[in-house]
């Protein structure tokens, strides 16, 4: 069984405690890793500190060239990356291909952005006290960035932490999910081949609680970029002292469908948004509010789409719904659905699943007291509810502690403007599902969905410091 070491200071490092990496579909062990202890963690910090001293001195063009080369190597190793994601994350093949393609594009975005980090001249003489002075500011890298990556996008969400750190001239330590560490190992090989100096990219494997305590206590870590649950994100924010934190903590994405929406196109798009990768995407469609004039037609059509959505082996190119990440998640979701049923919800079709694959579920007659509506399901479950007027729909969509992205299907410009003004979400997607994301746009949440923004251009500024320079004229 192949061992996948940690990358620390350009070297492959193993610890004493072993763990297996399993395929969530067939439960077969596909590799082994070892966990970091406090000594290995300390070594990673030391090496990342050395790496930062190298990284901060690399010219922008050289950082860009390294990233361009990394993108080319990713293209050559595309199928390997795809199958690694399929095997360790259980992501259906077609969506793993999409993730790798996005990762390549994201790396190119970062290479381009590395050459476009500008300061600005300040008109000092705008103040009477500033006459005779020249002022400007420049951006400087902060130091060590620590990235915590979830299982569901083991490549691209990792790149959203690694790429801006490198482009800005920082060093980075990545803690991947223990479900999906192999992708981070392969990225280390790619960056090394691309010519990234040792110590700039490092990885740490281990349980979140153990690594988290060391992470928040380490003063040399300047930025923590975390993607995961609200509970863990809040724990980090309460303990991270003076560290800068970027938090992306999920959603329970609503969609408003007005009566003038195109039924066929809307249903097909929302079914993909709900069921792709078994709903294990933080902006998966979870709550659909449909105009009552349109409700029955919409539900009938959506049920047809749900029942015909391919579920099963993630290696099958046609599969949309693959396995949940583990058995515990499978049974949690089933419990939530059964709990909703006891409170009066209709479960359509009946619950069906095996090999951690839960077939698509549609819930009717739900309410906002139920876990399946108020919390993040993170599974292939959708609640469809009706509304009487557009203002009510917006109010229902807002009735959540989350605020990442929301979708609105409407053609009336007045309703669109009302939605943009009133919806309390960081992203409002008009006439598409809330699952939409391209990697150069500002992406992040408000409320319990987090703080800060991803997208290389935006993350770079979170990972740099502004330095003001004022020069007295002679």
Count Cβ neighbours within 10 Å for each residue of 100-116 and write b for 16 or more, e otherwise: bebbbbbbbbbbbbbee
Distance CA(400)–CA(374), nearest Å, equals 6
Taking the CA atoms of the chain, what radius of gyration do you get in angstroms?
23
Q: Are 173 and 43 in contact (CB under 8 A)?
A: no
Distance CA(397)–CA(382), nearest Å, equals 14
Pick the catalytic residue from 99, 218, 282, 376.
Answer: 282
Q: How far is CA 12 from the centre of its chain?
A: 27
Strand partners, 33: 19
Q: Are 277 and 92 in contact (CB under 8 A)?
A: yes
DSSP alpha helix (H) spans, 260-309: 263-275, 295-307
Known active-site residue 248: yes
Distance CA(78)–CA(69), nearest Å, equals 14
- Residue 394: other Cβ atoms inside 10 A: 23
Pick the catalytic residue from 248, 329, 454, 462.
Answer: 248
Cα distances from 231 to residues 249, 341, 404, 471, in angstroms, run 9, 27, 16, 47
HSE-CB for 41 with a 13 A CA cutoff: 21
At 338, give phi and psi (nearest 5°). Answer: -65, -35
Structure tokens at 245: 């934190």
Distance CA(385)–CA(396), nearest Å, equals 10
Distance CA(148)–CA(216), nearest Å, equals 12
Task: Please give the biggest Cα pair distance in the chain.
Answer: 81
Known active-site residue 318: no
DSSP H/E element including 20:
strand 17-22
User: Does residue 313 sit in helix, strand or coil?
Assistant: coil
Sheet strands side by side (includes 120-122): 120-122, 133-141, 464-472
Phi-psi region of 312 (alpha: psi -120 to 50; beta: other; left: phi over 0): left
Distance CA(11)–CA(5), nearest Å, equals 9
Strand partners, 454: 443
Strand partners, 358: 353
Cα distances from 73 to residues 78, 99, 100, in angstroms, run 8, 16, 12
Active site residues: 248, 282
């Amino acid at each position: 069984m192949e061992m996948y070491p940690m990358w620390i200071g350009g070297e492959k490092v193993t610890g004493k405690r072993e763990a297996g990496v399993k395929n969530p579909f067939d439960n077969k062990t596909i590799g082994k890793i070892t966990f970091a202890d406090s000594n290995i963690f300390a070594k990673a910090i030391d090496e990342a500190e050395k790496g930062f001293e190298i990284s901060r001195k690399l010219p922008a063009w050289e950082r860009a060239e390294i990233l361009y080369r990394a993108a080319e190597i990713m293209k050559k190793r595309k199928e390997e990356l795809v199958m690694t994601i399929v095997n360790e994350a259980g992501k259906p093949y077609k969506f793993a291909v999409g993730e790798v393609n996005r990762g390549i594009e994201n790396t190119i975005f970062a290479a381009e952005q590395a050459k476009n980090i500008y300061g600005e001249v300040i008109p000092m003489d705008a103040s009477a006290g500033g006459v005779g002075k020249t002022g400007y500011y420049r951006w400087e890298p902060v130091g060590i960035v620590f990235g915590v990556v979830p299982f569901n996008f083991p490549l691209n969400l990792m790149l959203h932490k690694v790429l801006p750190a490198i482009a800005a001239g920082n060093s980075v330590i990545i803690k991947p999910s223990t479900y999906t560490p192999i992708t981070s190992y392969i990225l280390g090989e790619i960056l090394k081949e691309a010519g990234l100096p040792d110590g700039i990219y490092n990885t740490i494997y281990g349980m979140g609680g153990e690594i988290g305590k060391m992470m928040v206590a380490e003063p040399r870590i300047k930025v923590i970029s975390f993607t995961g649950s609200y509970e863990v994100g809040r724990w980090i924010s309460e303990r991270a002292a003076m560290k800068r934190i970027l938090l992306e903590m999920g959603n329970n994405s609503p969609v408003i469908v007005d009566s003038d929406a195109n039924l066929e196109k809307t249903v097909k798009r929302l079914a993909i948004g709900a069921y792709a990768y078994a709903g294990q995407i933080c902006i998966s469609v979870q709550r659909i509010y449909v105009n009552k004039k349109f409700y029955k037609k919409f539900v009938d059509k959506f049920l047809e789409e749900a029942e015909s959505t391919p579920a099963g082996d993630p290696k099958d190119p046609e599969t949309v719904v693959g396995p949940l990440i583990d058995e515990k998640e499978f049974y949690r979701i089933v419990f939530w659905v059964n709990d909703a049923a006891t409170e009066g919800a209709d479960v359509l079709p009946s619950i069906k699943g095996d090999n951690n694959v839960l077939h698509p579920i549609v819930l009717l007659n739900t309410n906002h007291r139920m876990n399946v509506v108020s919390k993040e399901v993170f599974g292939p479950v959708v609640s469809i509810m009706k509304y009487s007027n557009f203002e009510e729909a917006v109010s229902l969509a807002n009735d959540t502690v989350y605020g990442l992205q929301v979708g609105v299907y409407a053609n009336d410009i007045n309703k669109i403007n009302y939605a943009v003004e009133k919806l309390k979400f960081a992203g409002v997607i008009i006439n598409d599902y809330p699952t939409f994301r391209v990697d150069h746009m500002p992406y992040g949440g408000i409320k319990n969905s987090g703080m800060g923004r991803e997208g290389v251009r935006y993350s770079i500024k979170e990972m740099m410091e502004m330095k003001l320079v004022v020069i007295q004229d002679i």
